[in-house]
């Protein structure tokens, strides 16, 4: 029987659909016309979402992949469209999520002739991609895309397929079978008994052990809590791992570093043993006790010892390794002084942060804003945080629980990621409540794509924290003693701008206006932008606290406490000695 014919671009989209991709973000261009034609033909299986900048499309795909763990897709046409994709693709690369990027190219007959918008695109994507190919024949298109998706999943990264536009128009036999149903990641090794026994012995000998977990423990929230309770060990995590364990779990201290909490930093510096689970935290050398024993659990053997010395390396899936540790260990009856101090320290932090939730200063503090977000957030809400001070505030003040999700450009740290990520997560979770939370710097980079939210009737709640400054960089310049340079930004009424784009916009300057705006946004079926004018005040620098009069200069302590309203905070030493 002779197979029916189908255009190569149509065959390619069918392969993508077989892998579970049902939408794609991008902007059309002449070099991408054959695929645009296929998107029209195959609209029953592939939804095209038009963005207003290719960077937004790539960031939307990256955000979607972070939230789902599944591959997401974006495209750009030859030349400028392809170049615009790079920022979002690097975000996907750095946070190790699978993204497929289709890139337009001029027709094969005019390649290598300096044709309009022609460029050698493969070298441009060589660093960002785990798979980077140009299709050479029409018959290759479904095969190359099938291989690209395999590699993106296998290596947790970006796959780029460049398509000369004439090839997509050519008819090929409609008989290609995608490998989606056959594909599987290899089985992870079981932890070795000797490693488990040695790890438990080190934990038993430790006086101040902690558990530190990252995204690699995303499926092991229950096991983390169970091990913490069984062995009486407090926990902390990377910023990206926020949400795996409920924020209100008393023994979970959130994160360390600058995008962090005081309890997290205190724990990291005090620990004499760290059970390091599914993380590649790059700043550990600055915040972990350098003399601490290290037990590392990871599925990738190249990660063992990559960031720190390791006393015991356990090559295994986080969930499996934690279950094995649970089975092989006995419950600890009594809480150690360190464990009780950690819990008391967190309780003190929670009381201190809550004391500002009804603060009515104008411009506003950020705590009342996050109080409104937490009160309004649904049980399955998805929060998309931008980069800057808003990252610090979100990690500290969002009260997340299992069932909710959060995305963040944690490692690549590109500003302008929140609005696109919200578009990506809303596209794949149309029935869930989705938030973008940005500073005015990040929001103004991508605010044109509020129009995208309007076009597709995405009921995203976009919160903008406007302080007229690149505050994160301002603080870095202050710490270096240099004059503030280039960090002040021109303010704007983003609520009014959102209204002009067809969204529902609010501009907030007081606590009463804040509550009114959030009440109006509740249950809306259209995109909302709430522009909150906040004070340009540095978040409490938990990585350089000066609050202990017994060990630090009392005059400096008094000045620090006054500046950051830290009268209610106690040093960790006080809890250890209590």
Give catalytic residues, as residue numbers: 54, 116-117, 258, 387, 472-473, 476
End-to-end CA distance of the chain: 83
Sheet with 252-255: strands ordered across: 252-255, 235-237, 209-213, 273-277, 293-298, 312-315
Q: How far apart are CA 72 and CA 60, in angstroms?
A: 9
Which residues lie across from 432 on neighbouring strands?
Answer: none
Residue 402: helix, strand or coil by DSSP?
strand
Whole-Å CA distances, 482 to 81, 139, 258, 473, 476: 38, 59, 20, 11, 9
Main-chain dihedrals φ then ψ at residue 277, nearest 5 degrees? -120, 115
Tell me how crowded residue 323 is: count the other CB atoms within 10 A of its CB.
18
Cβ-contact 526, 504 below 8 angstroms? yes
- Tokens found for residue 359: 């603060």
Which residues lie across from 129 on neighbouring strands?
Answer: 158
Q: How far apart are CA 119 and CA 101, in angstroms?
A: 17
Q: How far apart are CA 17 and CA 282, in angstroms?
A: 36
Cβ-contact 102, 163 below 8 angstroms? yes
Q: How far apart are CA 463 and CA 442, in angstroms?
A: 11
Q: How far apart are CA 198 and CA 195, in angstroms?
A: 5
Q: How far apart are CA 458 and CA 469, in angstroms?
A: 29
- Tokens found for residue 377: 């957030």
Q: Where are the alpha helices (DSSP H) in 112-220?
A: 121-125, 140-155, 165-169, 193-205
Tell me how crowded residue 271 is: count the other CB atoms within 10 A of its CB.
28
Q: How far apart are CA 317 and CA 320, in angstroms?
A: 5
């Amino acid at each position: 029987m002779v197979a029916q014919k189908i255009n190569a671009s149509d065959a390619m989209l069918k392969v993508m659909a077989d892998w579970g991709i049902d939408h794609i973000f991008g902007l059309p261009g002449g070099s991408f016309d054959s695929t645009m034609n296929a998107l029209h033909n195959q609209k029953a299986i592939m939804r095209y979402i038009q963005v207003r900048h290719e960077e937004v499309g790539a960031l939307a795909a990256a955000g979607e992949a972070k939230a789902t763990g599944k591959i997401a897709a974006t495209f750009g046409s030859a030349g400028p469209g392809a170049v615009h994709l790079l920022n979002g693709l690097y975000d996907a690369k750095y946070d190790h999520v699978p993204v497929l990027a289709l890139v337009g190219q001029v027709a094969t007959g005019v390649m290598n002739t300096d044709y309009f918008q022609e460029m050698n695109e493969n070298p441009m994507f060589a660093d960002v991609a785990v798979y980077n190919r140009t299709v050479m024949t029409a018959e290759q298109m479904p095969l190359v895309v099938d291989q690209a998706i395999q590699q993106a999943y296998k290596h947790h990264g970006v796959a780029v397929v460049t398509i000369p536009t004439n090839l997509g128009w050519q008819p090929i036999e409609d008989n290609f079978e995608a490998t989606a149903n056959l594909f599987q990641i290899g089985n992870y090794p079981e932890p070795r008994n000797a490693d488990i026994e040695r790890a438990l012995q080190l934990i038993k000998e430790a006086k101040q052990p902690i558990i530190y977990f990252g995204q690699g423990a995303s499926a092991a929230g229950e096991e983390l809590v169970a091990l913490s309770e069984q062995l009486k060990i407090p926990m902390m995590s990377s910023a990206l791992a926020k949400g795996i364990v409920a924020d209100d779990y008393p023994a979970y201290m959130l994160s360390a570093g600058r995008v962090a909490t005081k309890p997290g930093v205190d724990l990291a510096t005090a620990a004499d043993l760290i059970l390091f689970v599914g993380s590649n935290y790059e700043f550990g050398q600055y915040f972990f006790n350098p003399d601490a024993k290290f037990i590392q659990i990871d599925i990738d053997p190249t990660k063992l010892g990559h960031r720190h010395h390791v006393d015991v390396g356990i090559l295994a899936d986080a969930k499996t390794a934690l279950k094995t540790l649970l089975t092989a260990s006995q419950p600890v009856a009594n809480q150690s002084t360190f464990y009780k101090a950690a819990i008391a320290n967190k309780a003190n932090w929670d009381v201190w942060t809550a004391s500002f939730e009804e603060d009515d200063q104008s411009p506003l503090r950020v705590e009342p804003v996050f109080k409104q977000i937490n009160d309004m957030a649904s049980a399955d809400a998805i929060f998309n945080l931008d980069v800057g001070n808003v990252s610090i505030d979100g990690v500290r003040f969002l009260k997340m629980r299992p069932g909710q999700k959060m995305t963040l450009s944690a490692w690549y740290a590109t500003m302008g990621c929140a609005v696109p990520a919200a578009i990506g997560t809303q596209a794949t979770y149309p029935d869930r409540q989705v938030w973008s939370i940005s500073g005015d710097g990040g929001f103004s980079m991508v605010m044109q794509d509020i129009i995208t939210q309007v076009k597709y009737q995405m009921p995203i709640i976009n919160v903008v924290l406007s302080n007229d400054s690149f505050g994160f960089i301002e603080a870095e310049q202050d710490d270096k003693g240099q004059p503030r340079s280039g960090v002040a930004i021109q303010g704007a009424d983003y609520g009014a701008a959102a209204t002009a784009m067809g969204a529902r916009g609010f501009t907030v300057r007081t606590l009463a206006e804040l509550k009114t705006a959030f009440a109006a946004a509740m249950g809306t079926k259209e995109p909302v932008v709430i522009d909150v004018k906040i004070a340009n005040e540095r978040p409490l620098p938990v990585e350089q606290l000066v609050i202990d009069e017994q060990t630090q200069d009392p005059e400096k302590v008094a000045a620090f406490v006054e500046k950051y309203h830290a009268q209610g905070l106690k040093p960790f030493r006080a809890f250890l000695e209590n």
